[in-house]
Amino acid sequence: MIGRNPTLVVIRPKVKCKEMKTLSDGQVRTLLSYVEGSRFEVLFWIAVTSGLRQGELLGLKWSDVDWINRRLRIQRQLQRLHGGLVFSEPKSAAGRRVIALGVATIEKLRKHQNLQLVARQVAGNSWTENDMIFPSSTGTPMDPSNLYHNFKRLLKEAELPDVRFHDLRHTAATLMLQQGVHPKVVQERLGHSDISMTLNTYSHVLPVMQDDAAEKVDELLTLINVSNDLKKLGERESSNVPLPKKIF
């Protein structure tokens, strides 16, 4: 036993956060147009419309899609552990979630499923069925490293900024907030355990949102003032008009 803890005087290194980069809405359209018709089209589409993590995207199965209610269940992620690919639980309890899908996303998923049936027939006996939405060319889970190399290649070919695949998640969150989506909804779609994490991570969007809020409040109060002025004017005019005589 020692009288004091020597680690208390140790200067702990600061955690260096990786720089966040996002694509603009125009750059996102360029990326989606460039990959249209490829096996990555729907993967990138869902990445920038939902904000799913890479492991969550690669862990999706067709059984996770609720076609009727347009919902997608996030209940696993694909990870490389001890040299192999394994399915594991989402990053946190909040990571196990259900997100809504737009009509366009559902249509793209149906098209993607049909193309996958064709790919399965072409692969023949080399295809291994795993019910994956985004499998490899033989039906097995897609290796994250293969996705990484293809993503970097496509960015270069499309003459887009060199960003990480994870930055598509940041891009999705930024676009949602810029479009006025409530931060609580963004939090739930991203799978953050607390809304403060969402607000702290995407604080760079808040100044723009504050400008928009200021303009909307100004506009609202201006309309109220105009309405009151018209009301007062109507009252003054009506006071000068003699009241009609009662008819018995």
Q: What is the pLDDT of residues 26-82, one digit of tens each?
A: 999 999 999 999 999 999 999 999 999 999 999 999 999 999 999 999 999 999 988
Instruction: Tell me yes or no: is domain 25-206 CATH 1.10.443.10.
Output: yes
pTM of this structure: 0.79
Closest Cα to residue 53, out of 172, 146, 140? 172
Both tokens assigned to 116 = 């996958």
Q: What is the pLDDT of residues 177-224, one digit of tens each?
A: 988 899 999 999 999 999 998 988 888 777 766 777 778 788 888 866
Greatest CA separation found in the chain? 107
Q: Are 37 and 66 in contact (CB under 8 A)?
A: no
